[in-house]
């Protein structure tokens, strides 16, 4: 299983306390040291909309200079992509909402306007020696429109493929998905787009995050996003809470005998340090309980 840590971007963007750049870099370094193979370090959005990520260039450049771990940056549009590439981003993640209202709230554009830039973002990435992928928000439900048709998701996946993007993140932005729904969508996507890599990005708003991960695994998905301690949420999605906790996700996979290459104990220490930085407890379970103790059996 491939686990991408999105805490430095998706996690911190919803925190009210402005986190110092030095603490963000310490967080990213700690995640890499624990074995996370990929980290979403920041987003190139307008600083006035999300002040927490105003230091995107510095965070990205320093991470690239000090880490060997694969890093990526989220971008809302071509302008953000150009900023990210100028800062040296090796991988871009363009975000588009599957629902019209959410996309307008999130990136100030219609879905059609955002989709029209897929080719330009992908081409800019290629010129810069980078890769580009698509992140589709609100795949399972929208806080403004309710249910989201599966066709709205598949249209965006198809558009990404036409643009040359061969990896797509499928997001349950507000945490409304259920395992049966997840399995059905993942099975359909893998059947209709066999050459595409899919990463599933769940939020645990209603406590179904890990159950949805298992459903996605049963449908053949091997890439997931998580956030240290379960922090996160979206400023433009009322009621949404944090992402699936990376600690809980990795611990579950380890207990299932699935290899991730990620070590839980260093993440627990990092999560407890992060709670001090943020000034509040994080919702992750393993952060409190620790790993399952190994009890020696009597001979």
Residue 137: Cβ within 10 Å count? 26
Q: What integer pLDDT is reported at residue 237 of this predicted model? A: 66
Asked if 188 and 153 touch (Cβ cutoff 8 Å), the reply is: no
Asked if 287 and 271 touch (Cβ cutoff 8 Å), the reply is: yes
In the predicted model, is pLDDT for residue 298 greater than 90? no
Q: What integer pLDDT is reported at residue 44 of this predicted model? A: 97
In the predicted model, is pLDDT for residue 165 greater than 80? yes
Q: What integer pLDDT is reported at residue 292 of this predicted model? A: 78
For the stretch 124-134, pLDDT in tens is: 999 999 999 99
Average pLDDT value for residue range 9-32: 95
For the stretch 192-233, pLDDT in tens is: 999 999 999 999 999 999 999 999 999 999 999 999 999 987
Q: What integer pLDDT is reported at residue 73 of this predicted model? A: 98
In the predicted model, is pLDDT for residue 234 greater than 80? no
For the stretch 130-163, pLDDT in tens is: 999 999 999 999 999 999 999 999 999 999 999 9
* Per-residue confidence band for 294, with pLDDT thresholds at 50, 70 and 90: low
Tell if the pTM clears 0.85, that is, is over it: yes
Asked if 41 and 71 touch (Cβ cutoff 8 Å), the reply is: yes
CATH tag, 2-287? 3.20.20.70
In the predicted model, is pLDDT for residue 299 greater than 60? no
| 234 catalytic residue (yes or no) | yes
Structure tokens at 149: 């048709």
Cβ partners under 8 Å of residue 72, min gap 6 = 4, 38, 39, 40, 41, 89, 90, 91, 92, 93, 133
Average pLDDT value for residue range 87-112: 96
Average pLDDT value for residue range 259-277: 96
State phi, psi for 289 to the nearest 5 degrees.
Answer: -85, -25
Residue 45 CB burial class (10 angstroms; 0-12, 13-18, ≥19): buried
Average pLDDT value for residue range 7-14: 93
Q: What integer pLDDT is reported at residue 30 of this predicted model? A: 98
């Amino acid at each position: 299983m491939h686990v991408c840590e999105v805490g430095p971007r998706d996690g911190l963007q919803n925190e009210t306390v402005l986190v110092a750049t030095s603490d963000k870099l310490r967080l990213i370094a700690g995640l890499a040291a624990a074995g996370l193979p990929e980290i979403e370090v920041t987003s190139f959005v307008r600083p006035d909309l999300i002040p927490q990520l105003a230091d995107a260039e510095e965070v990205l450049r320093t991470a690239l200079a000090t880490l060997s771990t694969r890093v990526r940056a989220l971008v809302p549009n071509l302008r953000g992509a150009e900023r990210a590439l100028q800062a040296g981003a090796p991988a871009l993640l363009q975000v588009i909402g599957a629902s019209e209202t959410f996309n307008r709230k999130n990136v100030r554009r219609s879905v059609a306007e955002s989709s029209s830039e897929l080719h330009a973002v992908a081409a800019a990435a290629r010129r810069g020696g980078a890769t580009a992928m698509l992140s589709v928000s609100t795949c399972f439900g929208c806080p403004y429109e309710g249910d989201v048709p599966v066709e709205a998701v598949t249209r965006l996946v198809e558009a990404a493929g036409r643009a040359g993007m061969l990896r797509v993140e499928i997001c349950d932005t507000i945490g409304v998905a259920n395992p049966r729904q997840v399995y059905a969508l993942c099975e359909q996507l893998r059947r209709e787009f066999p050459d595409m890599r899919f990463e599933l990005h769940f939020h645990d708003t209603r406590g179904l995050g890990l159950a949805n991960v298992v459903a996605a695994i049963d449908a053949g998905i091997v890439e997931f996003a998580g956030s240290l301690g379960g922090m996160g949420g979206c400023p433009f999605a009322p009621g949404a809470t944090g992402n699936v906790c990376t600690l809980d996700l990795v611990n579950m996979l380890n207990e299932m005998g699935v290899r991730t290459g990620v070590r839980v104990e260093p993440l627990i220490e990092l999560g407890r340090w992060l709670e001090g930085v943020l000034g509040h407890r994080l919702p992750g379970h393993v952060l409190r309980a620790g790993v399952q103790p190994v009890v020696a059996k009597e001979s």
